[in-house]
Amino acid sequence: MTKTIQELASDARTVNLLNGWGLHFHISEIPNYLALVHSEITEAWEAEGRDALLVMAKIEANKARGYRHGGRRT
């Protein structure tokens, strides 16, 4: 079954919350979040045309990265 963009976004949000991302927000973090958005858009652009199974494998790997990827900050 192929997931819709909405389903993938919902899955990503769930994984992010479980890994500690997006729980607390302070206005001073806006530049960091914008940099992360830029990074994600770049990854999506680079993934264009790649095998969907490779992209899904990366999503699955991100689920196992742990809480804030081992203490990383935004």
Between 18-22, 29-33, 65-69, 70-74, the lowest mean confidence (pLDDT) is in: 70-74
- Secondary structure (3-state) at 3: coil
Q: Render pLDDT for 6-62 as a digit per residue (tens, 0 to 9).
A: 998 898 889 888 888 777 778 998 998 899 889 888 888 887 777 778 878 887 887
Residues counted in the chain: 74
CA distance 73 to 58: 21
Crossing angle of helices 5-18 and 52-63, in 10° steps, is 20
CA distance 58 to 56: 5
| Structural domain span for residue 29 | 5-71
The number of folded domains in the chain is 1
CA distance 32 to 2: 32
